[in-house]
Amino acid sequence: MAVVFYFSGTGNSLDVAKQVAAVFPNCRLESMARYIAQPYCIQDDVMGFVCPVYCFDLPPLVQKFIAVLQANPKYCFGLVTMGGNQGRALKHMQLLLAKKEIQLDYADAIIMPDNFFVTPPAKARSMLIEADQKLQSILTYLHKRKQDTTQCEEKTLWKYGGVALGWWYMRNILNIEKLELDFSKCISCGKCVKVCPVGNITMQDGKPVSGNQCATCFACVRWCPKHALKLGGKGASDKKNYVNPNINIQELFSQEAK
Ligand SMILES: Cc1cc2nc3c(=O)[nH]c(=O)nc-3n(C[C@H](O)[C@H](O)[C@H](O)COP(=O)(O)O)c2cc1C
Ligand code: SF4
Ligand code: SF4
C-alpha cells in the first residue's frame, strides 16, 4: 500500500501528485491540510509528499504536517514544485523527517509556472511541457524505488539567514497574509471559501472574510472568477494570472481541513 500527501494552491503540486500516485498500486492521494486536522498512524510501505516551495523553503503548513506525521515507511520520497529556486526546501524536508526517524530516500524539484510572480502564458505553456518531461523521468525513478537525495544539498545563503530574511520581507513589507477584497467585483460565488485549504475564509453577509490562518497558497486570489481578491497587495487580472490547466477548482475543494 502507498500514500501520496499533497498541498497545492494553484494545482501544480496536485497535478504532479496525481501522476505520482498512479505509479504505485493501491495508492491513496491525501491532503496534508486534512491530515493535520485529523492525524492518524500511517501503515503504508511507500509514502510520498508533493508541495510547492514558498520563500526558498517548505511552506509552514508542510512543516506543521511533518511535525504531526506518524509513519514508518520502507520507501519515502519528497517532490517540490517551484518557479525556479527551491533554496533549502528539500533539505528542510529531509531534516524534519529525520527528526521523526523517517529516512528520505528520493527528493527532487520540478520547475513549473510561478503562481506568485506570475509567469506569462506563453512561457507557462513551454514550462509545463518541460516540467512534464522531467516528471516522466521522476516517475521511472520512483517506480524503481531509486535512492537519491543529492537535491537536498543546501547552499550557504539559505543555511545562514536567507530564508528568514525572505519570510521577514514577505510578512512585514509585503504583508503576505493580508487578504483584501474588492467589493465592487465580488459576485458572492463562495469559490474562495471552498478552495481555501485551511478554512481561512468564511462568508459573512454574502462576502468573504479572512481569518488569521492564511497559508499564503494564493488559491483564493488565482481561482476567483472575478479577480476580486489580493493577497499582500498582489492580485490577478485576465492578462496576469496562473492556475494549472490540468486541474479544475473542484479537485482542490477536497483539500480543505474538515
Ligand atoms: C508565497 C509564495 C512563495 C513562493 N516562493 C517561491 C520560491 O521561493 N521559489 C520558487 O521557485 N517558487 C516560489 N513560489 C512559486 C511556487 O512554488 C510555484 O508556483 C508552485 O509550483 C506552486 O504550486 P501549487 O500550484 O501547487 O500551489 C512561491 C509561491 C508562493 C505563493
Ligand atoms: S471567489 Fe471571488 S467572486 Fe467568488 S466570493 Fe470569493 S471573492 Fe467573491
Ligand atoms: S486565504 Fe487564500 S491564500 Fe490564504 S490559505 Fe486560504 S486560499 Fe490560500
Summarize pLDDT for 91-148 with one digit per residue, the tens: 999 999 999 999 999 999 999 999 999 999 999 999 999 999 999 999 999 999 999 9
Task: Determine the atom of ligand 3 nearest the C-alpha atom of 201.
Answer: 1
Distance 136 CA to ligand 3 centre (A): 30
Mean pLDDT (the chain) is 95
What is the percentage of the chain residues whose pLDDT exceeds 90? 88
Q: How does strand 106-111 pair with strand 70-71?
A: unpaired
- pLDDT tens digits along 136-148: 999 999 999 999 9
Domain 179-253 classified CATH 3.30.70.20?
yes
Task: Determine the atom of ligand 2 nearest the C-alpha atom of 227.
Answer: 2
pLDDT for res 63? 98
CATH superfamily of domain region 2-158: Flavodoxin domain (3.40.50.360)
Pocket of ligand 2 (CB under 6 A): 181, 186-192, 208, 224-226, 228-229
| Helix runs in the chain, H state only | 12-21, 32-37, 60-68, 89-99, 121-143, 156-157, 163-168, 191-195, 219-223, 249-253
- pLDDT tens digits along 206-221: 999 999 999 999 999 9
Task: Determine the atom of ligand 2 nearest the C-alpha atom of 223.
Answer: 1
Show me where the domains of the chain are located.
2-158, 179-253
Distance 132 CA to ligand 2 centre (A): 31
